[in-house]
Structure 1
C-alpha cells in the first residue's frame, strides 16, 4: 500500500483559490451554492471507504477527496466498510463479510460502473463499484457530476457502460508543438522537456478525459513525423503513457508509412517486402517493451502527399495489415484513415473514399479499423453522412469527428457541436433496412463488429482555458459524453456542462443552454446554408472565399463545390451529374433523387438548383439564400443580447471574454453574409430583397482581403 501511494504522490488533486480563467474546465468543485442541498449532501456523505490498492484507485480517491472537500467545504474522513456512507471498491475488492446489495456486475463489462443506494447498519449508504478499477474511477466522476449538477443522491440505481470500446482524441500536434488546425495555442505536449519534466497539465488533461470516459489519445499529427518512432522520442512517449495510464487512457502514435526509409535506412517501404515487415515488427517490439499497453497506430496514407502503399502498387489493406500484424501479438490495433483523394483521379471528390475502400471490405486484419470522417468531403458545417457507413459490414469502421472548428469559425465563434453530432448519429443509412442508423453502424450492433470506436480531432492547446473559446470546452465534453452514451440529447449534455462550468442558477442555465442550442444552426446559416460547402478561404479556411479558382488542384477551389452559374447553384450528384448518390443504399437515395424531395438543409450537396426554383417557404432559391444568410446573422445578434443579460450572473473574467468573442462572431457573420451574397448575386442577377440591410462594401473589397497569418496557415 505504501509503495502505491508514494509512487502516485505526484498525482494529488488539490483545491485552491483559482481565477475563473477556464483552466478547471467542468471539474470546478466549488462549494454547493444551495444551502439546503449542501446540508443534505453533508449528511449523506460522511465517512468514505476506498481501498487505494492501485494507481487507478488512488486516482479515484484523490478525485473524490478533492471533489467532496471542494463541494462540501469540509474535510472528508476515511472509514471502514461498516461505518462509511460512501463505499468505493471494485468487484475483486468487496470487503470481507460485507453484505452486498444487488449489483449486476455482468452487465457492466470492463469499463462500466454501478452506483447503488442501500440501507446499511450505520444508516443510508451508497456504493460505487465496477468490475475493474477504471470502472470505479468512471463511477466516481459520475457521482461527483451528480453533486455538481445538484441531483438527488437518494435511491440511486445506476448501471452504466460505454456504447463504444475505443473513445479517442486525435491530436494533430507536431513535434515542434505547432498544432495543425489548432486555435488554442501550441501543443500541451512539450517534447523538449519530456521525459523528465511532467507538467501538471498532463495530469489535469488525464482527469478531464477520464471524467467523460475518453480512454485513448493519439499524441501526434496524422501528417506524421517518423522521428516520434525513434528511441529518443519513445522514452518521452513512455513518460506520457505513465501519466495517463492510471486514468485508463492508452497512448497511440501516428505512423509515417515511409519510416523504414527515413529512420530505418531501408531502400523501400513496400508493405509486402520482408525487410520492411521485419523492421515494423522490431519497432513494435521496441515500443511495447517501453509501453506494454501501447494502443497502436493511426495512419494517413496516400492522401494529400502522405506516403502510402499505393506507391508500391499495393492496396490500403496491404499497408494496414502489415502494421496490424506487427502490433497484433501485443493486443495493439491500427486505425487506417479513409480520408483519401487522388490528384490524378477526375472523379467527384465526394466519391473517392468509397471507391477506394468499399472493394476492400473483408480484406483487413481483425485488429484494423477503417477510420471514416463523418461526411464524404471534409468536416464541413453540414454534410450528408459518408456513404461508407454501413457499406463495409466485414470491416469495423471508426467514425472521425472534428472538435477543433477548422471550418466552423475557428476559436472566435461560439458553436456547440452536439446537435451536429446527434444529427450524424441518427441518420439512417438503410443498409440493413430502416433503422440502420450511423450510431448502430459504429457501435457494432448493425454488423456485429468485434471492435468499436470513435475519434475526435482535438481542439486542445496550451491556452489557459485549453480550447481558446471558453465554449470550445463544451465540444470536448459533448464528444466524450456521446462516445459513452449516444442516446443522450444535445440539451442533456448542454445542461450538464453549463451547471458544472458556470453554475446551477436556473436563469443562467436556461439562458446559456438557449445560446448553445441555437448556435450550430446559426453558424450553418451565416456560412453555408442550404447545403453549400467548402467555400472558406483556401489554406487557412478562415472566412468566406467562394470566388477562389486558383488553388493548386481543382477540388481545393471553392468554385468546384458550389458550381454557381447563370442558371443556378449547387453540385448535381444524381445520375445526371457525378452520380455520387448511387453510393448510398437505394432507400437512402430516394430522399435525394429529386430537388423536390431532398431535405433543403442538404439541397445544394446533391442538386444544381435554378435561381428561381420555388422553395418550401414559397421563396425562390435566391430569396431563400438571402433569408438564411440574414437569419444566421440575426441569430448571432440574439445570442449576443442574451449573453449581455447575464452580466452579474457569470464571473467577470469569462463574461467579458465571451462578450468580446461574440462581438467578433457577429462582425464575422455579417462578413460571411455580405461577401457570399454579393458574389452569388453576380450569377443570379437578382437584387437582395427589400427589408434587408444592404452590404456596406462592394464585392471587390471582400475579394481583396488577405490573411497571411491566419491560424491554420502553418509555419
Structure 2
C-alpha cells in the first residue's frame, strides 16, 4: 500500500543547506534547530535523509519548508539528492485525501481536522517516518512535533503518536493599539506596522506565524480589547487582509476587537442599542464586508461595560442581548464572538470578586451558540495567585473559554523570571465540584456544552518588536506554555518547561535540570515577595510596577490596594465568608466549605477569604505576622538561589543570552528586596509587632518607600 502511495505523490524534495540561523539573541525562540551531537546525528541521519511532501498546497509547502529548515539545522548538509523515499528511507508527509483508505482508516476518527499521527514504518526495508493528517494544518503540526522530538533528544525509531487539540479556539489576544503602543506590553512596540501595511509584509510576520503554529495556536486577535473603532474601516481591513494572507498557511485565523459604539463612531448613528434595527443592520453590513475582504476571518472579541468601555448596559440591555446581536451577524459566516466577562463598576458596592458572577451567571443559556464567554482564571485581575474564577462550573449551558495573561502585568514585567505554567496548571487542575467531584476547570473547558459547540482558550500576548520577542529570554517560556496548555489543558507544567528548556538552552541534561528547577520555583517566589498568604493587588496603581500597599486615595475603592488587604490593628485580610462579603457562596458547597474554615483553607488563600488576627497561630505554629515576614524573605531568598543556579551555567550557555538573564536576575533580586522592605515597613506600622528573630528590618523607613514614584513605567494604557 505504501508503494501505491509513493506512486500517487509526485513532489520529492531534498535538503542540503544548514539552517541560516540568527545570532544567539533569542530571536529564534524554541525553534533554534541547533546541530545535534555527533552520536545522535549518526543514529538518526539514515531515517531523516529525505522527505516527501504530498502536495504543493500552501500549508503543506510550509510544513515541508519547516522540515527542511529544521533538519538542515540539526543535521547539516546530507549527501545524495533526488533519491526516492522507497530507495533510501525518509519522512513522508501525507494527508488522508492522498492516502490509501486502508492505511488511513485507523487514525481518521481520532485526529479530526487539526490532529496528526506520526509512525515509524518500513518501505522496502528502508526506515520511514509517516506524518499523516486529515487536513493540511494537521500535517504542519505533525512536522513541528517531530522536530520537537529531535530537538529534545527523543527516540524516533519506534514512533506511534496520535495527537489532536482538545480545544477548538486557541488564540492570542494582542492588546496592541493602532499607534503601535502595546497596553501592558513590555517587549517594545506592536509587531503590526499599520503604516506600512498592506503593501509591505514584514518577514517577521512569517516567523511569528511559524512560532505560533509550532505550539498549535490557531488564531490571533490583532487589536486591543480597549478597542478603537477605526480598525473596522475599509482601509484598515485591507491591512488586516495582508496579515491574514501571511498567517493563513500556518493555520492561523485573524480576529479583531469590536468597539461596541462603532455604529455611532463609524456609521453616524445616534445609538448603539443592540435591539435597535438600524444598529443591527449596520453590524450585519460591516461583518459581511469583513468576510468579503477576509473569507476565513475568525470573528470578534468584545470588552463591554468594563473600565469605561461602552456596552449594552448603556442602553439597559444585558450582556447576552449585546453579544447575541453581534453573534447573529457572524453566524452565517461561521464566525465566533468572544465576549469578555471581566466587568466591575465603581458604583457597585459589592465585593469586586463577586461582580462578574453576579452579572453573568443569571444569563446562563441565554447566549447564542457561537458566543464564547471569555473568563479570566481568577475573579480579580491576573494576580500572582488567585483562586479559580467562580463562573467555571456555574454556567453549564454557556460555552466558557479561559483567559490567561501571558504578559506579566502584575508579576514584575519582563525583568522578573516568573514561569506561569505552574499558575495555569494550578487553575486548570482546580476542582469546581460542578456538577460533582472531578469537575476540573480543564475538563469543563474541554467538554462542549452541546455536540460540536465551540471550546477555547485565550492568552494576552507578551509579544513585541524586541529581538527576543517577549522582552526577556525566560518570558518566551510563557508564550510557549500557553500554546501547549491551549492544545491540551491537562498538560503538565514541568514537562512543558523541560521541553522548552531543551529547545531553547540546549539539550544538555545539567542545563535543562537547572533551568527547569529555576522555572518551577519562580512563580512561587514572586507570590512570596509580592502577595504572600492570599494577599492580592498590592501593586502601585496605574502602572502596577512595584509595591504600593498603602495606596488609599484613588476615586474608585477597588483600585486601592488597601481595599484588598484591609490591614488594621485587629488583623489583615478580606473577609469573604458569610460574615463578610459572602463571595464564598458563589462556589460549589464542597469548595466553599473547605475555604470557609480557618482550619481547612490553604495558607496560600488564607487572606483572600479571611480577615485574620496578627497573632493567629498558623499551621506552622507561628503567628500570622511572623509567617508573613518569613514568606517575604523566602521570596527574596528564592531569587538569590536562581542567581546562583544561573551563575553555574555560564560555561554552558551562549554569552549574550547568559549575560542578559544574569542582569535581569540582578534587577529581580533588587526589586524583590524593595517589595519585601516596603511591604514589611507598611504592615509593621499597623501590626505594631516586632520582626521574628533572624529577620532584618527594612533598609529604610516607610516614608522613604511611599515617596518612590515611577510615572514612566512601561505598558500603561492610553
TM-score (norm 2): 0.96
The answer to whether 1:287 aligns with 2:290 is yes
Please give the per-residue CA displacement for 1:99-152, whole angstroms capped at 9, x wherever unaligned: 848742211011000001112114121100110000000000000001111111
Residue of structure 1 equivalent to 2:133: 130
Q: Distance in 2 between matches of 1:120 and 1:14?
A: 27
Residue of structure 2 equivalent to 1:5: none
Question: Are 2:442 and 2:490, in contact at CA under 8 Å, matched by a contact in 1?
Answer: no
Q: Matched residue of 1:512: which SS?
A: helix
Change (3 A) 1:78 1:364: farther
Please give the per-residue CA displacement for 1:195-235, whole angstroms capped at 9, x wherever unaligned: 01111110000000000000000000000000000001000
Q: Distance in 2 between matches of 1:28 and 1:226?
A: 39
Residue of structure 2 equivalent to 1:197: 200
Query: What pairs with 1:317-332 in structure 2 (closer than 5 Å)?
Result: 317-332=320-335
Please give the per-residue CA displacement for 1:503-532, whole angstroms capped at 9, x wherever unaligned: 011111111111111101111001100000
Residue number among 589, 596, 599 corresponding to 2:599 in the alignment: 596
How much does 1:82 deviate? 3.2
Residue number among 33, 55, 59 corresponding to 1:56 in the alignment: 59
Question: Are 2:86 and 2:126, in contact at CA under 8 Å, matched by a contact in 1?
Answer: no
Residue number among 205, 212, 215 corresponding to 2:215 in the alignment: 212
The answer to whether 1:91 aligns with 2:91 is no
Gaps of 5+ in 2: 1-16
The answer to whether 1:485 aligns with 2:488 is yes
Q: Matched residue of 1:82: which SS?
A: helix
How much does 1:590 deviate? 1.1
The answer to whether 1:273 aligns with 2:293 is no
The answer to whether 1:607 aligns with 2:615 is no
Query: What pairs with 1:39-438 in structure 2 (closer than 5 Å)?
Result: 39-75=42-78, 77=81, 80=84, 82-83=86-87, 84-94=89-99, 100=103, 103-438=106-441
Q: Distance in 2 between matches of 1:708 and 1:604?
A: 30
Residue number among 24, 27, 33 corresponding to 1:20 in the alignment: 24
Q: Distance in 1 between matches of 2:575 and 2:709?
A: 31
Residue of structure 1 equivalent to 2:631: 628
The answer to whether 1:495 aligns with 2:498 is yes
Q: Distance in 1 between matches of 2:155 and 2:387?
A: 40
Change (3 A) 1:232 1:102: closer
How much does 1:18 deviate? 2.1
Q: Distance in 2 between matches of 1:657 and 1:92?
A: 49
Question: Are 2:49 and 2:78, in contact at CA under 8 Å, matched by a contact in 1?
Answer: no
Q: Distance in 2 between matches of 1:330 and 1:280?
A: 13
Question: Are 2:320 and 2:366, in contact at CA under 8 Å, matched by a contact in 1?
Answer: yes
Question: Are 2:399 and 2:449, in contact at CA under 8 Å, matched by a contact in 1?
Answer: no
Q: Distance in 1 between matches of 2:164 and 2:38?
A: 33
Q: Matched residue of 2:699: which SS?
A: coil
Q: Distance in 2 between matches of 1:336 and 1:494?
A: 31
Q: Matched residue of 1:410: which SS?
A: coil
Q: Distance in 2 between matches of 1:100 and 1:358?
A: 48
Question: Are 2:448 and 2:455, in contact at CA under 8 Å, matched by a contact in 1?
Answer: no
Residue of structure 2 equivalent to 1:713: 716
Q: Distance in 2 between matches of 1:433 and 1:584?
A: 12
How much does 1:617 deviate? 0.7
Question: Are 2:533 and 2:628, in contact at CA under 8 Å, matched by a contact in 1?
Answer: yes
Residue of structure 2 equivalent to 1:561: 564
TM-score (norm 1): 0.96
Q: Matched residue of 1:183: which SS?
A: coil
How much does 1:303 deviate? 0.4
Residue number among 436, 461, 466 corresponding to 1:463 in the alignment: 466
Question: Are 2:206 and 2:247, in contact at CA under 8 Å, matched by a contact in 1?
Answer: yes
Q: Distance in 2 between matches of 1:636 and 1:493?
A: 22
How much does 1:47 deviate? 2.0
Q: Matched residue of 1:615: which SS?
A: coil
How much does 1:85 deviate? 2.0
Q: Distance in 2 between matches of 1:276 and 1:102?
A: 49
My pick for the range that moved more, 84-93 or 696-705, is 84-93
Q: Distance in 1 between matches of 2:712 and 2:78?
A: 51
How much does 1:348 deviate? 0.5
Q: Distance in 1 between matches of 2:551 and 2:251?
A: 46
My pick for the range that moved more, 461-470 or 686-695, is 686-695
How much does 1:253 deviate? 0.2
Residue of structure 1 equivalent to 2:541: 538
Cα-Cα RMSD: 1.5
Question: Are 2:54 and 2:95, in contact at CA under 8 Å, matched by a contact in 1?
Answer: no
How much does 1:446 deviate? 7.7
Residue of structure 2 equivalent to 1:549: 552
Q: Distance in 2 between matches of 1:708 and 1:405?
A: 18
Residue number among 501, 512, 519 corresponding to 1:509 in the alignment: 512
Q: Matched residue of 2:414: which SS?
A: helix
Gaps of 5+ in 1: 1-12
Q: Distance in 2 between matches of 1:357 and 1:714?
A: 26
Q: Distance in 1 between matches of 2:116 and 2:451?
A: 24
Q: Matched residue of 1:398: which SS?
A: strand
Question: Are 1:112 and 1:159, in contact at CA under 8 Å, matched by a contact in 2?
Answer: yes
Please give the per-residue CA displacement for 1:14-62, whole angstroms capped at 9, x wherever unaligned: 8324210000000011111x21111111112122111232100010010
Please give the per-residue CA displacement for 1:622-665, whole angstroms capped at 9, x wherever unaligned: 00000100011000000001101111100000000000000000
How much does 1:487 deviate? 2.7
Q: Distance in 1 between matches of 2:504 and 2:124?
A: 37
Q: Distance in 2 between matches of 1:102 and 1:315?
A: 47
Please give the per-residue CA displacement for 1:550-587, whole angstroms capped at 9, x wherever unaligned: 11300000000000000000000000000010001111
Residue of structure 1 equivalent to 2:38: 35
Q: Distance in 1 between matches of 2:441 and 2:372?
A: 16
Q: Matched residue of 1:126: which SS?
A: strand
Residue of structure 1 equivalent to 2:521: 518
Question: Are 2:399 and 2:448, in contact at CA under 8 Å, matched by a contact in 1?
Answer: no
Change (3 A) 1:78 1:139: farther
Q: Matched residue of 1:591: which SS?
A: helix
Please give the per-residue CA displacement for 1:168-210, whole angstroms capped at 9, x wherever unaligned: 0000000000000000001001111000111111000000000
Q: Matched residue of 1:365: which SS?
A: coil
